[in-house]
Amino acid sequence: MKVVYSSDFLKHDFEGNPERAARVLAIKHALDAKGFGDYIEAKPASEKELLKVHTKHLLAELKERSERGLGSIDNPFSKETYEIAKLSAGSAIIAAKHASEFAFSLARPPGHHAGKDFFEGFCYLNNIAIAVASLLKNYSRILVIDFDLHLGQGTQDIFTGSEAVYYFSMHQDAGTIYPWRDFPIRDNTTKLVPLQPGTADAEYLKIFEKGLKEISQSFEPELIACSAGFDIFYADRFYVGSQLNITNPETFKKIGSIISNAKLPCFAVLEGGYHLETLGLLARKFLEGLVYEGSDSLSSAQ
């Protein structure tokens, strides 16, 4: 398992913001404690790679806001923000290149709420979409699985209408949590599964496994790209209100093993997950499931 990382991810950090530098450190410590992962240094994405997904307008706006430090609570900016967002996107591209060995982009800021021409929800550039776009010359059918608590409306926006990329999202009903509105499905390569608050581990896994099986049969993906968000865990709540009720860390291992059972090249990128006391454990469980369970057909997986 390759892990793409850079200590520069720590430079984008804002006091009091849940999406903080300590998140990647928590995961890194949990992986290092088990000697898990073969590290690769992240490199920034090029403008050409970003423009496969985003508009010139968005890139110019991010650059300008970064220079001027013009941000909000959901999307704070410092002088480093745009550079670190490009580094996070580039990290995902490197993970995508190593999908046949399984790879994880241990990067931030996250990306799945950033669309072609908009940025929201702690996200600036859509890392997974940029990485998937970088693979489309070599693959004709890529499945994006998003198990973050929140709907990845940015990823949906980017790939709506693309027959080469299927977007499968399991998330809490977007009428009950951010992004607080519905995004209708407009093509045959999108499956959104809105879950009601209170949905627990066994039911979650059953729905996930069934959904993945159906898509595997109908779409026949050649590669899986995974938006891995760990905020579905019950302890991870900075919103007031009820959420999903995923209480067992082993559920993340099972998510990994269900994906692994598809026996396809796979890479994952970090999205949400803000509870620092459990984030490292949950991410490690997920990666262990991905690598050690049901992956015997991939000769280089270790």
Residues that bind Zn ion in the complex, under the rule CB under 5 A: 148-150, 229, 231, 272
Question: Which secondary-structure segment (H or E) carries 279?
Answer: helix 276-292
Q: Least separation, in Å, of the C-beta of 257 and Zn ion? A: 22
Closest CA to 154 of 4, 275, 53: 53
What's CA 87's distance to the chain center, in Å?
A: 15
Question: Which residue, 5 or 147, has its beta carbon nearer to Zn ion?
Answer: 147
What is the identity of the amino acid at 91? Answer: S
Question: Which residue, 20 or 98, has its beta carbon nearer to Zn ion?
Answer: 20
Can you give the C-alpha Rg of the chain in angstroms? 17
Q: Least separation, in Å, of the C-beta of 255 and Zn ion? A: 15
Question: Which residue, 90 or 229, has its beta carbon nearer to Zn ion?
Answer: 229
3-state DSSP helix/strand/coil % of the chain, to nearest 5: 40, 15, 45
Closest CA to 222 of 282, 137, 114, 117: 137
Category of 144 on φ-ψ map: left (φ > 0), alpha (ψ -120 to 50) or beta: beta
Q: Least separation, in Å, of the C-beta of 18 and Zn ion? A: 10
Catalytic residue among 113, 150, 171, 275: 113
Question: Which residue, 3 or 270, has its beta carbon nearer to Zn ion?
Answer: 270
Residue 52 · residue 15 · CB < 8 Å: no
Q: Least separation, in Å, of the C-beta of 259 and Zn ion? A: 18
C-alpha to C-alpha distance for 264 and 224, rounded to whole angstroms: 7
> Does 12 qualify as catalytic in the annotation?
no
Report, as residue numbers or ranges, the catalytic residues.
Answer: 113
